[in-house]
C-alpha cells in the first residue's frame, strides 16, 4: 500500500491541471449513504415512480416524489465535508486543480471551500429548487419549510408552475452545457483522479474515459473494482479520506 500511496503522490506532484471526478463513494464518509447500494433509497423506492415524465404529468407522482426527495435531502443537508473533500480543497490551494466534475448532488465540494467556478455538478444539486415553467429559483430550505408546514406539493409563487429540485431525474436529459464543459476539462487535464465512482453511470462516466483518451493518466480510488481499472495508471481499492490524506502528506 505504501508504494501505491507514493505513486499517487508522485502523479499529483507532476500534475498542474488535475481533473477530479467524484461519485457517491466520495460522500459516504460524510454519512451520506450510496442511494444505489443495498438498503439504499432505490432499494426502498421504485425508481420508475420518479421518471421525469411522471413527475411533470401527475400530481400524485409529485406528492410521492417530494416524500422521497425529502428523505434524501434530510441525510444531505447537515452533512459535512470529510477528509477526502478537504484534500481536494488543498489541491486547489496548491494551484493544481483544474476542476471537479461530480455526480453528487450534496453540495459538499462547495461546503469544503472549493471555488464554485471549478465545480461542475453534472447530476445537478439538491440545494436549490426551480420552477419548471418560469425558471424562478428557490432555496431548498425555503421549500423544506413549506413541506414541513404540511404542504404536500409546492408550486411556484409567481406562476403556479411545477417546482422541482435542480437534480437530474430518471428520464431527464443531462444538461448539455455541463456535459460539454466536463468534456472540455477532460480534454485539458494532465491527471484525472476518479474518487468514489463505480463508473457505471453514463454519460457521466464518459468524462474520465475522455480524459484517458486525451492522454491524461487515470488514478482511481474506489472501494470496488470499476470498468476503467484496466486503463488506469494507479488503482487503489480503499477508503478515500485516509488514502488522500496520506498522499497529500507527501506533496
Ligand atoms: Zn414559476
Q: For 31-85, what is each residue's pLDDT tens digit?
A: 998 887 777 888 888 888 899 999 999 999 999 999 999 999 999 999 999 999 9
Q: How far is the CA of 172 from the centre of ligand 1 (A)?
A: 19
Could you report the per-residue pLDDT of 163-210, keeping only the tens digit for each? Answer: 999 999 989 888 899 999 999 999 999 999 999 999 998 899 999 999
Catalytic residue among 85, 109, 123, 210: 123
The fraction of the chain above a pLDDT of 70, given in percent, is 100
State the virtual CA torsion across 26, 31, 34, 40 in degrees, nearest 10.
180
As a whole number of angstroms, the distance between CA 61 and CA 142 comes to: 21
Q: How far is the CA of 153 from the centre of ligand 1 (A)?
A: 14
Identify whether 237 is a catalytic site residue: no
2: preceding bond cis by omega (within 30 degrees): no
Q: How far is the CA of 45 from the centre of ligand 1 (A)?
A: 28
Q: How far is the CA of 61 from the centre of ligand 1 (A)?
A: 19
Amino acid at each position: 500500500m505504501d508504494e501505491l500511496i507514493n505513486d499517487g503522490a508522485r502523479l499529483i506532484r507532476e500534475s498542474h491541471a488535475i481533473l477530479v471526478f467524484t461519485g457517491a463513494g466520495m460522500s459516504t464518509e460524510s454519512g451520506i449513504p450510496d442511494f444505489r447500494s443495498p438498503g439504499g433509497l432505490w432499494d426502498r423506492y421504485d425508481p420508475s415512480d420518479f421518471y421525469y415524465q411522471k413527475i411533470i404529468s401527475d400530481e400524485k407522482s409529485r406528492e410521492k416524489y417530494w416524500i422521497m426527495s425529502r428523505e434524501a435531502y434530510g441525510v444531505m443537508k447537515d452533512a459535512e465535508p470529510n477528509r477526502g473533500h478537504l484534500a481536494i480543497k488543498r489541491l486547489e490551494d496548491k494551484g493544481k486543480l483544474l476542476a471537479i466534475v461530480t455526480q453528487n448532488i450534496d453540495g459538499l465540494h462547495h461546503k469544503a471551500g472549493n471555488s464554485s467556478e471549478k465545480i461542475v455538478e453534472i447530476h445537478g444539486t439538491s440545494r436549490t429548487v426551480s420552477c419548471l415553467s418560469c425558471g424562478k429559483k428557490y432555496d431548498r430550505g425555503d421549500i423544506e419549510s413549506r413541506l414541513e408546514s404540511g404542504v404536500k406539493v409546492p408550486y411556484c409563487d409567481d406562476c403556479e408552475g411545477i417546482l422541482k429540485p435542480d437534480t437530474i431525474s430518471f428520464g431527464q436529459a443531462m444538461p448539455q452545457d455541463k456535459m460539454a464543459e466536463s468534456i472540455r476539462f477532460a480534454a485539458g487535464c494532465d491527471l484525472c483522479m476518479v474518487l468514489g465512482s463505480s463508473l457505471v453511470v453514463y454519460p457521466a462516466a464518459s468524462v474520465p474515459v475522455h480524459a484517458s483518451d486525451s492522454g491524461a493518466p487515470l488514478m482511481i480510488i474506489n472501494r470496488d473494482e470499476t470498468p476503467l481499472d484496466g486503463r488506469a495508471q494507479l488503482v487503489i481499492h480503499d477508503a478515500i479520506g485516509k488514502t488522500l490524506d496520506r498522499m497529500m502528506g507527501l506533496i
